[in-house]
Structure 1
């Protein structure tokens, strides 16, 4: 009666007073499927625009840590004495398969080479953390011997090369990377690849002004570095012992300094 007119309703609406919950749920699922299809079809062969077509979380599942890996880390963190013996580098290898969405991102050698060139041309010149020679040596083995940590690092390198966006909702790759990082971290795979991935995620978030998330990501990277003993080579226990080469030691130094720079 707001406009001086009587309210009228169609008879079919007056008679139907019940709601079919199952039909509503089916309709919601149908709309979500249509949305996912549109996202996946919205990609382009161009490096920058193709990033928005990445599925958000499909196929990324955690790999629970084994008892052996848990015991190694528990002894390292809880044993206050210096009797801890550094495990071999493959002792914390999760054996986790690279998730399907990440495989689709990195399956092409041309795509991996494009990511490498974009990263070292755009980011490395002012944020020199990753050793180019080591990366080039490990990249050909990414699919011959699946390395989930290296796949995570490549995905983060791709993320930070993405043009500046003021709305992270427009970057599905960001959410894929975050979930992938937590899955690898929760599987107790502590490595330089994981640490460097954490640093790149923090760099991306700080560059986009995402706070306090960026601040907390720096904290995560710092704690990972401290667990590995990068903050004090003389006094702190070293998870993997002394580096085998000077290049490995230099990369560790650069990674730790990258964390300190972000923290400042």
Structure 2
């Protein structure tokens, strides 16, 4: 059954209509509490396969499974009432062909209540995107740096510099023509991101691209300073919760070892105050 039976108020059509108008706010989320916090502020909440690195300690996104995406998708769905829920299709769940992609995309949507899926790739994924959208599955595309392809890209490098920009632009056109309602542009030069934004009829959502994109997305643990293994150039830290949390943990550990926690206000008396007062002898 769907984790969230309430229809989202923001849909693929809503996002598509924001092209060139109100910037689209998008963040990743992997848990119910985080989804609840961003629901009133974000247009799109993405359950990214970055969950593998951020929460599960994997070295890349390649080890993420359908079961992981469904589990976290269900958790995020429980925290959303307004924002659109989009879920990444994990590596190996769609590349084999349109039929495989449809089966897994349908499962993601059915078991989580997601309003759309996201998959990586440009020209090579156009036929799959067309197949999915023709069968009622909204697709957010993703071109530029595609993390699931790091082994062929040679690492997390900027994509589209010099003559390589033509292939990124071609990919953006291809996914738009195939029916994607938006496209993520990751780690591409600013001028190329602006060119793509002006050229394609669907919203562009930048991550390490340009303020001129139709929207932006960040990994929430990056922007809150909770994931500190590395910090990409395109991440702005809006808080430093990792340092704050570690300091709090250290303070707790010190108090436990000093036996100053729990203090009197944190423990329970043998008798509740009211019961003790009732048993006290009368002064009459």
Q: Structures share a fold, TM > 0.5?
A: no
Q: Give the structure with the higher percent strand.
A: 2
